[in-house]
Structure 1
Amino acid sequence: MDRFGDGLVFVVALVLIGWWIWRRFDNWLHEPPSSRLRKLAQAGEVEPDEAVDFLQEHGYSVLSGKHRVPLGVIVDDGPVQTTRLYFDYFAAKEDRYYLVRLERSRQPIDWTASGLRERLLPYALLFPECDGIIVADPKDRLLRTVRFRVEDEKA
């Protein structure tokens, strides 16, 4: 009788684990694309400062701040080299989400197409759900929105 009880407990445990895995997979499968952005919006704290006030003056609500995205780089099957990609804020305006980078005097942005590509394209590729990347310069009172799109080669 002891073996029957052990087997029953084992089968019940397997059924529960299988059900839990199925539910996780089903939730992941039906998760809306914007859920990643909602998680990002809740990830960082916003400390009031000049940049946050500047964004709010332009109608943006700053949802979170100071994010670090860890990345691993492997060259020729060598060891993983770690690096990070930083952005300053995550903001929303009229149900659209934006990553915010503050322009810094020690790292000025080259406002040519190739300069913007080199500096900001990684953000657009990592967060395709965002409607753009805002480059804010609170000191000079400038706010620019950068968007990328794939062009047709026929031109």
Structure 2
Amino acid sequence: MDRFGDWLIMLTAAGLMVWWVIRRFDKWLHEPPGSRLRKLAQAGGVEQDENVTLLEEHGFEVLSGKHRVPLGVVVDDGPVMPTRLYFDYLACREHKYFLVKLERARQPLDWTASGLREKLLPYALLFPDCEGIVIAHTQEAQIKIVRFKVEAGEE
């Protein structure tokens, strides 16, 4: 790197890399709410089945299906233990997004406030732009929407 041209090429490459990093950060910083959900909606296809038909009968447009959210858990600086959360569909109604979970006979939901909190709150926290979580029970042709509301606590 004794010649001036070598330094010029290195400075140009470094400048382009810095410009690219700043541009990516700015894009991430100004990303509109709900863009994560729109990316999920574009990611997966939907097979027409009885669950999709049930959701469409209740006014939902099913955007994508069968999603897996990978997570890592670390306990006391130990190794990362991988795990995942699953939800069945991403649906839209009246320009609002909903996560859809199917109620299965082998994993019934406990319909108490604490049971719903334990099972569904992670989804609401991971996707705060969702309007709610739709629980679809195909055998009973029933749909329920679960929403979490933070209330003023006792101090």
Fold match by TM threshold 0.5: yes
**Secondary structure at 1:13 match in 2:** helix
Matches of 1:85 and 1:11 in 2, distance apart?
45
Once the two structures are superposed, the pairs formed by residues 1-155 of structure 1 within 5 Å of their partners are 3-154=3-154
Q: CA deviation at 1:24?
A: 0.7
Q: CA deviation at 1:151?
A: 1.2
Q: CA deviation at 1:5?
A: 0.8
Count of aligned pairs:
155
Question: Alignment identity in percent?
Answer: 66
Give the TM-score normalised by structure 2.
0.95
The AA in structure 2 aligned to 1:111 is: W
Q: CA deviation at 1:52?
A: 0.4
Superposed CA deviations along residues 15-62 of structure 1, whole A, max 9, x for unmatched, are 111111111111111110111111111122211110001101111110
Root-mean-square deviation over aligned CA pairs = 1.5
**Secondary structure at 2:14 match in 1:** helix
Q: CA deviation at 1:84?
A: 1.1
The AA in structure 2 aligned to 1:58 is: H
Superposed CA deviations along residues 47-101 of structure 1, whole A, max 9, x for unmatched, are 1110001101111110000001111111222222111110000000111000000
The AA in structure 1 aligned to 2:101 is: R
**Secondary structure at 2:39 match in 1:** helix
- For structure 1, which runs of at least 5 residues remain unmatched after alignment? none
Moved over 6 A (4+): none
Matches of 1:127 and 1:76 in 2, distance apart?
27
